[in-house]
């Protein structure tokens, strides 16, 4: 990598952080490498934070936004070396070696013109076994001016192993099936208009070699994954290189390290795991209640009704139109009496003619241009108007929360939907209160959502926070948010893209990810199906028009959603409910809705697992089958908890699918109970009322009793055991609403299967079904 001569660091707006440097623990050591300063600090035995800069003050500032400096802990490490020798930092979990400065030498003729002006810095990382797993081979600080600031392009490059694979880096929807990022170049940035679907930057990469890298820079960052023997991060704005290396022999060890660095994932309220019904949009209180009552009349389980945008009188008015919703308090009481909760969309944008714009403008609470004038919409987005709240300003965050609470949430709504958190009003070229939108391009969703989350908990300290959010950043998992893949198209192609997209997003430490079941955008006027639809659309023409295969698409999407962390119907359609797409589609979706609720005890137990370990429970196959090289690039199927292997159907007219069963386990077809050996591809029947689902031998799956919502205490109706190997399942439960679980007020029932004895212990009086017996 060519390294250009640094210029003096621009200080006016360049490096403002949420905490002062004095708030951070001192690093283990700060090394001088002939004018390049290297700081090493730890966050426990398997996490090291590396900072490199030409200005010593920069490496001592501590980490950036999203990182929890209070969790810094150097106690596990010892430091040896120095005095122009290799500096070695060792714990029980990892070793980091920082190369000594090279001896002085006379530059060659070529070096006089092309050699880097920065002092070289190299380091190696070894795992607990003493095996080198990655090395940093170069770093960059190249001077440039961005959005009126004299700053640097900063970066670092790392080694690549021959058989190394890369995952994570947030939400990128370019892939139709491949999961491995190796060979790809990603621009890690929030980009609503990305051609394949919105991209979201969570700069956390996990390698198949047993380590992860957290890149600590919120500006637009280019990630090069194993191209020409180099893996690199390169950020557009910065005065230093800052990253964390996390090691682990299991995914759980890596993700627990990530949780120490950026925050634990809370357990959402139990209602988040039931069906969430939304539409863009319910036009009136009467319509919303009609939908809710129809669910109860049909006895289709439902937990949450969502009120999307334009319930207000004007964008940014932060009110509820009394003509459309004359009694929101009464509406929410009715929902609560029916065992349902509510989510309402609250936008951070303010029209110039609205009642709050002048106040926000005068107080400096909105995104500004270089002349200090509030940005009103974007010229290249003619449908956009209004100023964007500035969540980097604590006073603006407080103002937004108080108006959201007093004007909207106080009307009985349970949770907010914080839309436009990427945001649509791209901050590049503009300014927040803390600095340029280029420097902090990816920061909006963390600060905006966390500001609301913290205030919600203070407002109702024993009611769990739940927020629907359209984007994320490092640490966003700690806010109690559910994330989704934005305004995707209602097409088979978009459905196919969701599977690998979600698996790399969850691999980025964002466990609670989902998508709009059925796609959000308007339905195409015509079908592009080349096969006869598998479901009859004739009794849904008023909704689907001539999109003949849409009931089939929606049904396949709903089946996939049944095995996602959240199941939420949504879309800009005349109707979006289970019964609106024909009797045949309704019957299949109703069956899967029932299945979803039967699996809630199993799913809720996985929420506890994620809370404890940081690891996702919707996870790519490589996490559980690291010894099977065939799974490294499979992004079309995944594990849902420890038991279920799910292979969504994403092609129109498809009635069978090739599915890979990983080696190291036997597998049961969930629908037929047929037992198959792993380590091979199999062709699986996929009629319209099934998608391929397998259960790993040795699994224990609790089955919940039928309930209409999680507001009803759900008994365990039975326990299914899939023999062939000893197994254990920790069945977790709590009140599903409060934070008492943080105080240990919960129950854990340990179920154990002794395969040789054919006996399950811990099941109490629940009916036990041993599959295949």
Query: In 310-424, which residue ranges form alpha helices assigned H by DSSP?
Result: 328-337, 357-363, 394-407
**Helix (H) or strand (E) segment spanning residue 11:** none
Residue 145's pLDDT band (cuts 50, 70, 90): very high
Contact 215, 189 (CB under 8 A): no
Residue with tokens 């689907």: 544
The two structure tokens encoding residue 400: 């937004």
The answer, yes or no, to whether the previous bond of 260 is cis (omega within 30 of 0) is: no
pLDDT at 116: 63
CA distance 530 to 629: 35
The more confident residue out of 109 and 754 is 754
Strands, sheet with 727-733, edge to edge from the N-terminal-most edge strand? 727-733, 747-754, 759-761
CA-closest candidate to residue 455, choices 407, 399, 510, 417: 399
**In the predicted structure, residue 496 carries a pLDDT above the cut 90:** yes
CA-closest candidate to residue 225, choices 153, 174, 161: 161
Point out the residues that are catalytic.
419, 422, 487
Number of neighbouring beta carbons within 10 Å of residue 103: 6
The two structure tokens encoding residue 165: 């694979």
**In the predicted structure, residue 23 carries a pLDDT above the cut 80:** no
How large is the average pLDDT for residues 344-357?
Answer: 96
Q: Which range has the worst mean pLDDT, 14-28, 607-621, 625-639?
A: 14-28
pLDDT at 14: 34
The two structure tokens encoding residue 164: 């190394």
CA distance 45 to 127: 11
CA distance 398 to 404: 10
CA distance 185 to 228: 12
% of the chain beyond a pLDDT of 70: 96
Helix (H, G, I), strand (E, B) or coil at 493: helix
Residue 747's pLDDT band (cuts 50, 70, 90): very high
Number of neighbouring beta carbons within 10 Å of residue 293: 13
Half-sphere exposure of 625 (CA within 13 A, CB side): 25
CA distance 643 to 606: 11
CA distance 285 to 292: 11
Contacts of 43 (CB under 8 A, 6+ apart): 49, 71, 72, 73, 244, 257, 260, 261
CA distance 292 to 288: 6
Number of neighbouring beta carbons within 10 Å of residue 594: 15
**In the predicted structure, residue 13 carries a pLDDT above the cut 50:** no
Beta-bridged to residue 389, according to DSSP, are 366
pLDDT at 1: 33
pLDDT at 731: 98
Q: pTM for the complete prediction? A: 0.95
CA distance 232 to 116: 17
Strands, sheet with 716-721, edge to edge from the N-terminal-most edge strand? 700-704, 716-721, 767-770
Q: What mean pLDDT value characterizes the chain? A: 94
In Å, what is the CA distance from 324 to each residue of 312, 321, 407, 498, 755? 9, 6, 16, 34, 60
How large is the average pLDDT for residues 204-231?
Answer: 98
pLDDT digits (tens, 9 = 90+) for 622-676: 999 999 999 999 999 999 999 999 999 999 999 999 999 999 999 999 999 999 9
pLDDT digits (tens, 9 = 90+) for 395-410: 999 999 999 999 999 9
Contacts of 421 (CB under 8 A, 6+ apart): 348, 444, 445, 448, 449, 469, 470, 471
Contact 336, 328 (CB under 8 A): no
CA distance 339 to 123: 57
Number of neighbouring beta carbons within 10 Å of residue 208: 18
The more confident residue out of 4 and 703 is 703
pLDDT digits (tens, 9 = 90+) for 267-317: 999 999 999 999 999 999 999 999 999 999 999 999 999 999 999 999 999
Query: In 251-309, which residue ranges form alpha helices assigned H by DSSP?
Result: 251-262, 285-298
CA distance 214 to 699: 33
**In the predicted structure, residue 222 carries a pLDDT above the cut 70:** yes
CA distance 523 to 533: 16
The answer, yes or no, to whether the previous bond of 166 is cis (omega within 30 of 0) is: no
**In the predicted structure, residue 55 carries a pLDDT above the cut 90:** yes
CA-closest candidate to residue 270, choices 513, 516, 607: 607
**Helix (H) or strand (E) segment spanning residue 721:** strand 716-721
């Amino acid at each position: 990598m060519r390294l250009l001569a640094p210029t003096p660091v621009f200080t006016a707006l360049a490096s403002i952080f949420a905490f002062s440097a004095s708030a951070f623990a001192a690093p283990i050591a700060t090394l001088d490498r002939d004018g390049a300063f290297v700081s090493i600090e730890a966050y426990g035995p398997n996490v090291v934070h590396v900072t490199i800069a030409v200005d010593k003050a920069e490496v001592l500032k501590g980490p950036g936004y999203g990182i929890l400096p209070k969790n810094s802990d150097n106690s596990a490490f010892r430091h040896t070396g120095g005095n122009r020798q290799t500096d070695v930092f060792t714990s029980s979990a990892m070793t980091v070696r920082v190369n000594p400065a090279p001896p002085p030498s006379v530059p060659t003729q070529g070096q006089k013109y092309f050699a880097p002006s920065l002092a070289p810095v190299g380091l190696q990382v070894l795992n607990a076994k003493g095996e080198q797993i990655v090395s940093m081979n170069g770093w960059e600080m190249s001077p440039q001016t961005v959005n009126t600031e004299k700053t640097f392009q900063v970066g670092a490059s790392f080694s690549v192993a021959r058989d190394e694979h890369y995952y994570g880096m947030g939400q990128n929807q370019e892939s139709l099936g491949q999961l491995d990022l190796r060979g790809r170049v990603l621009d890690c940035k929030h980009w609503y208009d990305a051609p394949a679907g919105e991209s979201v930057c969570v700069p956390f990469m996990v390698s198949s070699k047993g380590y992860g890298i957290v890149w600590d820079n919120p500006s637009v960052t280019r990630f090069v994954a194993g191209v020409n023997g180099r893996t690199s991060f390169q950020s557009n704005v910065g005065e230093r290189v800052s990253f964390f290396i996390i090691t682990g022999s299991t995914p759980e060890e890596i993700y627990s390290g990530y949780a120490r660095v950026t925050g634990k994932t809370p357990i959402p309220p139990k209602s988040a795991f039931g069906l969430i019904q939304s539409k863009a949009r319910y036009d009136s209180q009467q319509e919303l209640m009609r939908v809710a009552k129809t669910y109860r009349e049909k006895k289709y389980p439902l937990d949450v009704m969502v009120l999307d945008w334009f319930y207000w009188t004007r964008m940014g008015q932060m009110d509820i139109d009394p003509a459309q919703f004359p009694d929101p308090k009464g509406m929410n009481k009715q929902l609560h009496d029916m065992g349902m909760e509510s989510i309402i969309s609250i936008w951070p944008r303010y029209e110039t003619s609205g009642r709050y714009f002048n106040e926000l403008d005068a107080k400096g609470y909105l995104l500004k241009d270089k002349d200090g004038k509030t940005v009103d919409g974007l010229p290249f987005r003619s449908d956009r108007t209004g100023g964007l709240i500035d969540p980097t300003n604590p006073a603006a965050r407080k103002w937004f929360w108080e108006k959201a609470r007093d004007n909207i949430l106080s009307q009985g709504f349970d949770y907010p939907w914080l839309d436009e958190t990427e945001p649509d009003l791209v901050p590049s070229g503009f300014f927040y209160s803390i600095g340029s939108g280029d420097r902090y391009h990816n920061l909006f969703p963390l600060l905006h959502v966390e500001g609301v989350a913290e205030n919600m908990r203070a407002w109702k300290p024993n009611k769990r926070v739940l927020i629907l959010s359209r984007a994320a950043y490092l640490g966003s998992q700690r806010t109690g948010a559910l994330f989704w893949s934005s305004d995707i198209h209602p097409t088979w192609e978009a459905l196919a893209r969701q599977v690998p997209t979600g698996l790399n997003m969850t691999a980025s430490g964002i466990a609670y990810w989902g998508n709009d079941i059925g796609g959000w955008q308007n339905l195409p006027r015509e079908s592009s199906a080349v096969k006869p639809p598998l479901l009859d659309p004739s009794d849904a023409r008023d909704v689907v028009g001539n999109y003949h295969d849409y009931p089939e698409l929606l049904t396949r999407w709903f089946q996939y959603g049944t095995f996602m962390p959240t199941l939420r119907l949504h879309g800009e359609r005349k109707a979006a409910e289970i019964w609106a797409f024909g009797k045949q589609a309704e019957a299949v979706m109703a069956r899967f809705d029932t299945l979803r609720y039967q699996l809630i005890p199993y799913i809720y137990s996985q929420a506890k697992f994620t809370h404890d370990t940081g690891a996702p429970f919707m996870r790519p196959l490589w996490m559980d089958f690291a010894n099977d090289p065939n799974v490294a690039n499979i992004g079309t199927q995944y594990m849902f908890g420890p038991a279920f292997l799910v292979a969504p159907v994403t092609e129109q007219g498809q009635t069978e699918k090739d599915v890979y069963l990983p080696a190291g386990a036997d597998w049961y077809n969930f629908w037929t109970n047929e037992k198959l050996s792993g380590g091979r591809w199999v062709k699986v029947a996929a009629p319209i009322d099934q998608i391929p689902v397998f259960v790993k031998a040795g699994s224990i799956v609790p089955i919940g009793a039928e309930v209409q919502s999680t507001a009803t205490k759900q008994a365990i109706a039975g326990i299914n055991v899939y023999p062939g190997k000893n197994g254990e399942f920790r069945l977790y439960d709590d009140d599903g609403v409060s934070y008492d679980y943080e105080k240990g007020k919960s129950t854990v029932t340990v179920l154990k299967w002794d395969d040789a004895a054919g006996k399950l212990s811990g099941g109490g009086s629940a009916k036990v079904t041993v599959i295949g017996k």
